[in-house]
Amino acid sequence: MILKVEFQFDFGSPNAYLAEVAIPGIEQRTGVKFDYVPVLLGGIYKATGNMSPFDSLRGIKNKPEYQALETQRFIRRHNVTKFRQNPFFPVNTLMLMRGAVAAQFEGMFEPYFRAAYHHMWEEPKKMDDLQIFRSAFISSGVDIDRLIARAQQDDVKKRLIDLTNDAVSRGAFGSPTFFVGKEMFFGKDQLRDVEESILEQTRLPARERA
């Protein structure tokens, strides 16, 4: 029985972008591949009564500065070189996340995923503007018109809703969220614990992981 490890992401989360940079190293060290699970962060916030740090940290003395310091520490630790703050943040990610589900259905996920993160957090753009969205993916060689059409179909919309609701039902309240078997971890700063849990659980007999 193979251990299931999930990375639940929304392209609108800069912390999910930063966390994903570290995932290949964890996969290499543990031999376990992550499942990339698109969720709609706005839907998670609505269902849980949560809000983004952009809103929750507003007006708080010292905490936003400390969060920025921790982000810089993470960037140095993982040698993140391409990250740029998106000047249009927060961006409505409904199109992006439906596109991710459509790309999974169409076998186009990897190029779509890389292009989406590139245009959100490496060469940041206002990716909730349809014209900018379309031009960005075309420039990255993605057949985005095919995915735009696919993303309008009911099965794609339902799949994103179902994934989002499932995340909430299992305890998620934001992104990035990780599941290692049944164990949940939240945030990029928990990746060390994610890796430790993978190593611990892969040593367990299958019946003890169920």
d(CA 112, CA 137): 8
Could you say which of 13, 52, 140, 169 is catalytic?
Answer: 13
For tokens 């966390």, the residue is 19
Closest CA to 191 of 80, 109, 91, 116: 80
DSSP result, 148-207: HHHHTSHHHHHHHHHHHHHHHHTT--SSSEEEETTEEEESGGGHHHHHHHHHHHHTS-HH
Residue 56 is a catalytic residue = no
d(CA 8, CA 25): 18
Q: Is the peptide bond prior to 176 cis by the omega test (within 30 degrees of 0)?
A: yes
d(CA 180, CA 186): 11
Six-digit token pair at 27?
A: 């996969």
Angle at which helices 130-139 and 144-151 cross, to 10°: 140
Cα torsion 42, 159, 170, 25 to 10°: value is -90
Which residues are part of the catalytic machinery?
13
